[in-house]
Amino acid sequence: MLDNDLLKSKVSEVENWVIDIRRDFHQFPELGMKEYRTRDKIIDYLNKMEIENKIVANTGVVAIIRGKDKGKTVGLRADMDALPMEDKKDVPYRSKIKGKMHACGHDVHMAILLGAAKILKSMKDNIKGNIKLFFQPAEETVGGAEPMIREGVMENPYVDGVFGLHVDNSLQTGQIGIKYGQMKAASDMIKIIIHGKNSHGAYPQNGIDAIAIAGQVIVALQTTISRNIDPRSSAVLTLGTIQGGYGRNIIADKVEIEGIIRTLNKESRRLMLNRVQSIVEGISKSMEGLGELIRTEGYPALINDDNMLNIVKQNAKELFGNDSIYKIPYPSYGVEDFAYFAETRPAAFFQLGSGNMNKGIIHTGHTSLFDIDEDCLSTGILLQVKNALEFLNK
């Protein structure tokens, strides 16, 4: 049994240091795959702690703490990138970079991981196995997890399991949100192009109306959820933009529609994409036009491993009490590229309560007033350290 009081004492010693790190990251946010200052600051912190590290995926960093004895290897992950929006909070650590803001808590995640690294490094002579630290770029955009994995961060030594977290202001500090099985959706961006034929609007028989075809396609696509997806499952199809035509008296020869598909499992994902393609192509052909579907594959669904999540649940109960656990009732249709780690190895992703109504910390992520209760930093460090150690000891 790990000494929880000792762990809490160690976390207390680094708390102010971690708060300063978080505030520095918050003041200097950088967008996906452009996190150069952030990367270099992380490397500087790791070097000062004498933790071996290297750059991966351009702006990402992987580091390793090697225990005294051989054993398994566990990964801890933090994302790095900010969002392209204005920080409107009135706080001393408000963003100094116009039009950029850490509005999703990735500054918190990095600070927590560095705090955990400092504690785990101090305990390395009592650790059996290794801890890998993944500082991952571009979660909000192109996804940095997949290129990091391609560059071999899960090997040499082989990573046996991974833990990740995300702050959540809908939960109060001290609460831990867990969801067994499907936690986040898969995402696919789609572009539909309907090709027709121009003619004068007064002589429609001479043309092929791409707008008319598009109308039929849009209506038919709405049935994919209600008539093709198992009612016990679910999916989301959103068409967000439509462009076409040249003038009120011209039959349009082209319409472009853009949207997104969100699904919770591989079978629903495959079925939705197949149905959308067949509708686009079939209706267009039946009306003498040509329909084209262009798919841009997004993140896969995030599915937690039961055994890994059991570690998180038990540790949270031991550290913070039985009432700290919040069981998330439904999967989220948001996406999270930690899913790539979870596809590769057993993994657990959980929500870290960061809200505090008494302090006015109530604003959700991706909004200009987003902030966190900094007491959650200690909670996150404590839980991630214990997750890593318990995993290695099992």
Q: Which two tokens stand for residue 63?
A: 């580091």
> How many structural domains is the chain composed of?
2
Query: Both 38 and 158 in a single domain?
Result: yes
Query: Both 215 and 348 in a single domain?
Result: no
Range of 9's domain? 4-184+301-393
Query: Both 292 and 209 in a single domain?
Result: yes
Q: How many CB atoms lie within 10 A of CB 163?
A: 24
- Specify the DSSP element, H or E, that contains 192: strand 186-195
Those residues whose C-beta lies under 8 Å from the C-beta of residue 110, and which sit 6 or more positions away, are: 21, 22, 25, 38, 42, 78, 79, 80, 135
The pTM of this model reads 0.95
What's the pLDDT at 342? 98
Q: Of 35, 139, 140, 374, which residue is the catalytic one?
A: 374
Query: Both 193 and 330 in a single domain?
Result: no
Query: Both 234 and 146 in a single domain?
Result: no
Could you tell me if 53 and 46 are in contact, meaning their C-beta atoms sit under 8 angstroms apart? Answer: yes
Phi, psi of 250 (to 5 degrees): -125, 130
List Cα–Cα distances, 181 to 257, 265, 308, 393, in angstroms. 33, 11, 11, 24
Query: Both 355 and 247 in a single domain?
Result: no
| Residue 134 CA neighbour count, 13 Å, CB half | 33
What's the pLDDT at 310? 98
Domain termination residue (choose one: 231, 262, 297) = 297
Query: Both 74 and 218 in a single domain?
Result: no
Neighbour-count burial of 376, counting CB atoms closer than 10 A to its CB (0-12 exposed, 13-18 middle, 19+ buried)? buried
What's the pLDDT at 394? 85
Query: Both 172 and 212 in a single domain?
Result: no
299 counts as catalytic: yes
Query: Both 117 and 173 in a single domain?
Result: yes
CATH number of the domain at 248, please: 3.30.70.360
| Alpha carbon distance 73, 56 (integer Å) | 19
| Alpha carbon distance 87, 113 (integer Å) | 24
β-strands 69-79, 60-66 pairing: unpaired
Q: Digits of tens for pLDDT over the chain (394 positions)? A: 579 999 999 999 999 999 999 999 999 999 999 999 999 999 999 999 999 999 999 999 999 999 999 999 999 999 999 999 999 999 999 999 999 999 999 999 999 999 999 999 999 999 999 999 999 999 999 999 999 999 999 999 999 999 999 999 999 999 999 999 999 999 999 999 999 999 999 999 999 999 999 999 999 999 999 999 999 888 999 999 999 999 999 999 999 999 999 999 999 999 999 999 999 999 999 999 999 999 999 999 999 999 999 999 999 999 999 999 999 999 999 999 999 999 999 999 999 999 999 999 999 999 999 999 999 999 999 999 999 999 999 8
Domain termination residue (choose one: 256, 276, 297) = 297
Q: Which two tokens stand for residue 297?
A: 């594959």
Q: Of 45, 93, 299, 340, which residue is the catalytic one?
A: 299
Residue with tokens 């079978």: 267
What's the pLDDT at 232? 87
What's the pLDDT at 2? 75
- Torsion (CA) 54, 57, 61, 63 in degrees, nearest 10: -60
| Alpha carbon distance 277, 281 (integer Å) | 6
Domain termination residue (choose one: 297, 319, 339) = 297
Q: Where are the alpha helices (DSSP H) in 102-188?
A: 106-122, 145-150
What is the total residue count of the chain? Answer: 394
Query: Both 180 and 190 in a single domain?
Result: no
Could you tell me if 82 and 100 are in contact, meaning their C-beta atoms sit under 8 angstroms apart? Answer: yes
Query: Both 61 and 142 in a single domain?
Result: yes
| Alpha carbon distance 343, 330 (integer Å) | 20
CATH number of the domain at 110, please: 3.40.630.10
- Specify the DSSP element, H or E, that contains 378: helix 375-393
Query: Both 44 and 106 in a single domain?
Result: yes
